[in-house]
Structure 1
Amino acid sequence: MRIEGKTALVTGGTAGIGEQLALQLAAKGAKVIVTGRSEERLASMRERGFEAIHADLSNPAGVDALVAALDERDFDILVNNAGQGVDHDFREAAPDMGDTDDCIHANLNAPIRLTTALVPQMAGLERATIVNVTSGLAIAPRAGSPVYCATKSGLRSYTQAIRAQLNDMGIHVIEALPPVVDTQMTAGRGGHKMSAEDCAAAIVHAIEKDRDEANIGMVKILKRVHSISPALARNIMLRF
């Protein structure tokens, strides 16, 4: 896809990977609308020339409000990037089901609902692209993040299925699988982290090249291990 002249919606586009995606898509000539929850960050994006819409995607009402705010506008590119983590480790404390439900909705239900709302307009365009940002943890889970991993695995399956459905409608569906990226969500975690800028660049490249998947950074290695031995990949990541 040639990005210049396209209109893109990036959820969670005020920080981390989403902010970098917005900046890089705009630099290539796209008109970019972003969503977020922090009024301060939304204001910062507006100061840089972006249309920025407040949206809490952790519940159905928040998604419905965003769809209403978009007012049936056409988008050539939809990036379902917004997501959140949740503490759900029985070894540490009893999980909070309210937080768990919010995570499931933000990471899985919201992309499904938003995609469902926008596909009718996107299908009428010459060429459109949907990018669902999952994670390397969609391939093999980490023991300490079972709910987050489950949502990303679910979104991976959804992405693969709708890719087959939407191809004949002129909508290409890409799955982006980042490794551990240096964002607010991973603050406090040690180890090597990819920069949000480099991760976003890999996703933008996948959009331009019409790739089905963007296996980014260390996820490329995980994908190779998984292709040889899913059990080995799983055992490695459960200890991660």
Structure 2
Amino acid sequence: MKLTGNTVLITGGTSGIGLGLALRLHASGNKVIVAGRRKELLDRITSEHPGIEALALDVTDPASIAGAAERARAAYPELNVLVNNAGIMLRENLLDPASLPLAEDHVTVNLLGTIRMTYAFLPLLTGRPDAAVLNVTSALAFVPLPITPTYSATKAALHSFSESLRVQLTDAGVQVIEVAPPGVRTTLLGQQDDENSMPLDDFLTETLDLLREKPDARELVVERARFVRDAEANGSYDTVLAQLGGVRA
């Protein structure tokens, strides 16, 4: 993926990694559209960052996705990059029936949201120069964090989905890139002040540097996420799972 001259749509673009990517990509000479549910946040971002545009979109609602795709087709005919970033991360107690709705919400937002967005927006990307889909998964796709079981499971599913998507799009001219972050200091799971999580600016810098160095990358994994991403391959899976299983915060 080239780093300038794109028209980029980012779901979950009103905070955290999504907003960070939006600001960095806009500053690098891309047209950026942030997508989210809350109009007041979208209005604030477009007001505070002239040149960034917004698209109201709820990834939990198929009709909202379909409507957004039609609006994007009309307003952004040069759209060539989709960043599927929208997601939630909540603790679950698998012994508590009250956690079941939380589990279902993870599947709806993280997994179905990305799948539905991909189906709706691929027709807009196919045939565009330098087209790409970036799916933001997690290092936890490779070893789960037991206090967030369904979050981890949805990210593992998105890793698998991204692999299949890449194969199916081989002849369609659309690059598929998986971004697998470690814990990052954002409001996701309340990690904004967690010293054990990676500062957001550091994550964004290293991730974009990786893409700059290897624009044909299949995965973007910062060094801090490598111990989880590579655990199964290097034989440390059980050790890493035990370590993550000790997280109770």
**What is the TM-score of this pair, normalised by structure 2?**
0.87
Q: In structure 1, what is the equivalent of residue 101 of structure 2?
A: 98
Structure 1: how far apart are the matches of 2:35 and 2:200? 17
User: Which residue is 1:42 aligned to?
Assistant: 42
For 1:204 and 1:66, locate their aligned partners in 2 and report how far apart those are by CA, in whole Å: 27
2:81 to 77, 84, 90: 77
Equivalences for residues 87-166 of structure 1 within 5 A: 87-90=91-94, 93-166=96-169
Q: Match of 2:227?
A: 221
State the Cα deviation string for residues 36-77 of structure 1 (Å, max 9, x = none): 223332112111121112222123333233223323534221
* 1:18 and 2:24 are equivalent in the alignment: no
Single out whichever of 64-73 and 104-113 deviates more from structure 2. 64-73
Q: Which runs of 4+ in 1 moved over 4 A?
A: 188-191
Question: Whole-Å Cα distance in 2 between the matches of residues 139 and 204 of structure 1?
Answer: 22
Distance in 2 between the 1:90 and 1:221 partners? 26
Structure-2 residue corresponding to 1:212:
218
Q: Which moved more, 1:27-36 or 1:66-75?
A: 66-75
Q: 2-side partners of 1:181 and 1:169: how far apart?
A: 33
Which whole-Å CA distance do the structure 1 matches of 2:186 and 2:30 have between them?
A: 24
Give the C-alpha shift of residue 152 in structure 1: 0.4
TM-score (norm 1): 0.90
1:235 to 236, 242, 246: 242
Matched, 1:65 2:67: yes
Q: What RMSD, in angstroms, separates the aligned Cα atoms of the two structures?
A: 2.1
**Could you tell me whether the CA contact under 8 Å between 1:182 and 1:194 is conserved in 2?**
yes
Kindly state the Cα deviation for residue 20 of structure 1 after the two structures are TM-superposed: 0.8
Percent identity over the alignment is 32
Pairing partner for 1:194 from 193, 198, 209: 198
**Shift, 1:103, TM fit:** 1.8
- The runs of 5 or more residues in structure 2 that have no matched partner are none
- Give the superposition deviation at 1:15: 0.7
CA offset at residue 190 of structure 1?
A: 4.2
Residues 157-201 of structure 1 show CA distances to partners (whole Å, capped at 9, x for unaligned) of: 001111111122111111111111111113267441112222223
- How far apart in 2 are the matches of 1:74 and 1:109? 26
Match in the other structure for 2:3: 3
In structure 1, list runs of 5 or more residues that go unmatched.
none
Q: Secondary structure at the match of 1:10?
A: strand
1:122 Cα deviation from its structure 2 partner: 1.6
Any idea what the Cα deviations from partners look like across 1:133-171, whole Å, max 9, x if unmatched? 001110001111111011100000001111111122111
1:179 corresponds in structure 2 to 182
